Structure 1
Amino acid sequence: MGLQGKAAVVGTAQYKPEKYATAPRMFHLEQVADLAGQALDDAGLALQDLDGLVVTGAYFHEASQFVPAMVGEYLGVPLNFAETIDLGGASSVGAVWRAAAAVELGLCNAVLCVIPGRMVPTSASDNHALEVMKASRYGGHSTRWGAPEAEMDLPYGHTAQNTGYAMIAQRYAAMHGYDAAAMARICVAQRFNACHNPEAMFYGQPITVDDVLASRMVAEPLRMLEIVMPVAGGAAVIVAREDIARRCKHRGVHVVGCGEHVQTKSPTYAADMLATPIGPASRKAFAMAGCKPADVHMAQVYDCYTITVLLSLEGAGFCAPGEGMRFLREHDFTFKGDFPMNTHGGQLSFGQSGAAGGMSQVIEAVQQIQGRAGDRQLKHHDLAYVSGTGGVMSEQGALILRGAE
């Protein structure tokens, strides 16, 4: 049981990452409409072809309820399938497989999966945006009365994402050892890829292992260049029926495997911080697709932190648990290397526009499979693994994408 590969990603759209101070201040509805138009144009479809929608509901500026109805109304599109998703950085891969499942079930024909970027408050009276920014100081943790983290974590200094991921990295070091230079190789390789991607935030700014190791310590052992830079942005993809995909502009990218696992919100409550949700999610995705980690031509791995990449590689089965440091030392992760990973630069060097940041991995996989990656195009590009991570390794998902024959 599972996906049969009869739904394909046919169109993509993505804003170039920008610093908040210079980014246009569009409302979420405006972003959704703009991204939908770009993705439809990329696919060669019309607005009337859409009859499905997956959108992030959490922190949507204009409303916290009835978001799909509001978006559909704004677009002028009646919907046969409507979904909100709240999985943080795993929302992108989660949106794509939900759309593919809805298409395969015959519920709809073409689904817009869209994640607008973070809003910037336009005035002191913009209470909703200010509330979101206040919560973001704690890395997305709830500060509301009664929330377990507000009661048990924040008062004791466990604030923001940095501390949680640093705690996981420290646990890894205690169990398996820690090679800071090996971890820095992730940053260097992805920056190399970004230097071949004009859309990347750090295009034209190469770094070395020494640069990473010399960057400021933020939360031991994580240094500044090992942590994503939040930016303004937004992204969308369109998932459609197989027959629709055949008449679109570009090669259809079929969704052949997926998996998802949600474990805990905070690592405080994890039974084992190193047994992350990406393991069961990836195993299900590979089994559904009928392939193995060694079969894929690229890995687009969610990379909010270098430790996220390390544990995702281990959990997905690209190397054994505890063997990640050796794997990092022995492989070349650039688009020219033996293990192409995050060939657009990853979020570490492309930029992370909130939950939409994870869509950059999906879109890079799609464009590589379609042969549209420009200077960083891979020679072998038919099969991709894509991961998503929400919270502090809390909720994770995996996709296997395959190009149409």
Structure 2
Amino acid sequence: MGLAGKAAIVGAAQYKPEKYKTAKQMFHLEQVADLAHQALRDSGLEASDIDGLVVNGAQFHEAEVFVPAMAAEYLGIGVNFAEVVDLGGCTGVGMLWRAAAAIELGVCKAVLCVIPARMAPFAPNEDPAWLYEAMKYGGHSTRYGAPEAEFDLPYGHMGQNTGYAMIAQRYAAQYGYSPEAMAKLAVDQRTNALSNPDAIFYNQPLSISDVLESKMVADPLRVLEIVMPVAGGAAVIVASEELLERTNHRPAYIKGFGERLSFKSPSYAEDMTVTPVAEAAKKAFAMSGLKPSDIHAAQIYDCYTITVLLSLEDAGFCKKGEGMKFLMENDLTFNGNFPLNTHGGQLSFGQSGAAGGMSQIIEAFHQISGRAGARQLGTCDNVFVTGTGGVMSEQGAIVLQGGA
């Protein structure tokens, strides 16, 4: 039971990451329309082909409810399938398999999955303080009745940094910890970014000593092991097989997926060293008929270096507790034996909110369709992609495969 693998990514678009202070502000509806236009042009399809829409409602500034209807109206399209996905950094992966499922069920033929992530203009009488307050607490809820508000935040567990540091500390206590291995991971991804003109850290080389000497933010995580939030936005178009003859590029079929949520705060995780992606990846590989050794590139969500380490272990690329050794013994660059986050990852490409996770999907599509430029892999038919939301709390995995 699962996907038959007949729906495919056929088009994509994303804004070049920019620092918030210099990025042009656009209403989120404007961003949706602009990204849709770019993705359609990339795909070769027409707006009239789109009959499905998946948006990230939590990202919209113009409305909190009825977001798909508002977006469809603004785009001037009618859809048979509408969905709001709110999974943080796992939103892109979650959008993708939902779109594929709707297409395979015959509900629709082409789905626009879009996440606007540039700052929207504030109204003249609107106080932007709410946004800065929310950012201070990260993904944690401060609302009355939220378990985090009562049991986490009062004790200093706020924002993402402390949560991921706590996970890293637990891993270190159980399996040991190599700062050099984690630094190498960041450096290999930066090497990939040096061949990606769209990366926020393009033309900015990085060494292992640079990482190890960078500021400690939350022990053992240093500033160069943590993503820098940027302005951006992304969209992909998923289409049925009957539309593929009209598209421009080699399609990336969605062959398998898995999704797992079991907690929001890692305080309630049964074992912080075993992440939800373990179950998600197992399902994705089983559905696709592929295994980790069949994968030509891995695009692993990388909000922190520890996220990548645990995801590699739990997805089956190496055994539990051997991730540090795996990082040291393998070349993770696009020229290496284990290409990882070939666009630079969010650590070096940039993390544009929930759209950050879409960057891994788009890089997978570009590699499969042979459009990754200087970082293009010689062979790229099978790609494994993950998404992570919250503090390792919402995770998903997909397996993509290139068409003939």
Residue identity in the other structure for 1:252 = P
AA partner of residue 46 (structure 2): A
Q: Does 1:113 align with 2:107?
A: no
The 5 A counterparts of 1:180-219 are 180-219=179-218
Partner of 1:374: 373
Deviations 1:288-344 (A, max 9, x none): 000100100000000000000000000100001111011011000000000000000
User: RMSD of the alignment, in Å?
Assistant: 1.0
Instruction: Give the TM-score, by structure 2 length.
Output: 0.99
CA contact (8 A) 2:53 2:82 kept: yes
Amino acid at match of 2:33: A
Q: Write the distance in 1 (CA, Å) between the matches of 2:268 and 2:237.
A: 37
Contact 2:25–2:118 at 8 Å: present in 1 too?
Answer: no
1:230-279 deviation per Cα after TM superposition (whole angstroms, max 9, x unaligned): 00000000000012123201111100000000011000111111111000
For 1:28, the equivalent position in structure 2 comes to: 28
- Report percent identity of matched pairs: 67
Q: Provide the residue aligned with 1:74 in structure 2.
A: 74
> Which residue is equivalent to 1:346?
345
- The 8 Å contact of residues 26 and 121 in structure 2, kept in 1 or not, is answered as no
Residue aligning to 2:325: 326
Alpha-carbon distance between aligned partners in 2 of 1:302 and 1:124, rounded to the nearest angstrom? 37
Contact map agreement 1:331 1:339 (CA 8 A) in 2: yes
1:355 and 2:347 correspond: no
2:8 is aligned to 8
Task: Give the secondary-structure state (helix, strand or coil) at the position aligned to 1:58.
Answer: helix
Matches of 2:97 and 2:104 in 1, distance apart?
10
Q: Cα distance, 1:118 vs. partner?
A: 4.4
What corresponds to 1:298 in structure 2?
A: 297
Q: Which residue of the partner structure matches residue 162 of structure 2?
A: 163
Q: Deviations over 1:98-137 (max 9, x none)?
A: 000000000001000001104255467334x542331111
Q: SS at 1:361's partner residue? A: helix
Alpha-carbon contact 1:121-1:130 (below 8 Å) kept: no
Residue equivalent to 1:18: 18
- The residue type paired with residue 201 of structure 1 is I
Question: SS where residue 238 of structure 1 aligns?
Answer: strand
Contact 2:28 2:120 in 1 (8 A): no
CA shift digits 1:120-162 (9 cap, x unpaired)? 55467334x5423311111121111111111111111101100
Aligned length: 404
Task: Pick closer, same or farther for the CA change 1:130–1:73 going to 2, 3 Å.
Answer: farther
SS in 1 for 2:313: helix
Superposed, 1:56-67 pairs within 5 Å as 56-67=56-67
**Alpha-carbon contact 1:20-1:120 (below 8 Å) kept:** no
Structure 1 distance, partners of 2:71, 2:120, is: 20
Q: Deviations over 1:169-195 (max 9, x none)?
A: 000000000000001111100000000
Farther-moved stretch of structure 1 (265-274 vs 218-227): 265-274
Q: Which amino acid aligns with 1:33?
A: A
Q: Secondary structure at the match of 1:98?
A: helix
Matched position secondary structure for 1:21: coil
Task: Give the structure 1 partner of residue 145 of structure 2.
Answer: 146
Task: Look up the match of 2:174.
Answer: 175
Counterparts of 1:86 and 1:134 in 2: how far apart (Å)?
20
> Distance in 2 between the 1:351 and 1:131 partners?
24
The 10-residue stretch of structure 1 (129-138 or 217-226) with the greater mean CA deviation from structure 2: 129-138
Equivalent in the alignment of 2:242 = 243
Partner of 1:104: 104
The reply on whether 1:53 has 2:53 as its aligned counterpart is yes
Q: Secondary structure at the match of 1:20?
A: coil
Paired amino acid for 2:39: A
C-alpha distance in 2 between matches for 1:124 and 1:220: 41
For 2:316 and 2:263, locate their aligned partners in 1 and report how far apart those are by CA, in whole Å.
21
Residue number in structure 1 paired with 2:274: 275
Distance in structure 1 (CA, Å) of the matches to 2:131 and 2:79: 29
Q: Which amino acid aligns with 2:350?
A: G
Distance in structure 2 (CA, Å) of the matches to 1:46 and 1:28: 21
Maintained 8 Å contact 2:332/2:340 = yes
**Structure 1 stretches of at least 4 aligned residues deviating more than 4 Å after TM superposition:** none
Give the alignment of 1:246-265 within 5 angstroms.
Answer: 246-265=245-264
Map 1:87-98 to 2 at 5 A: 87-98=87-98
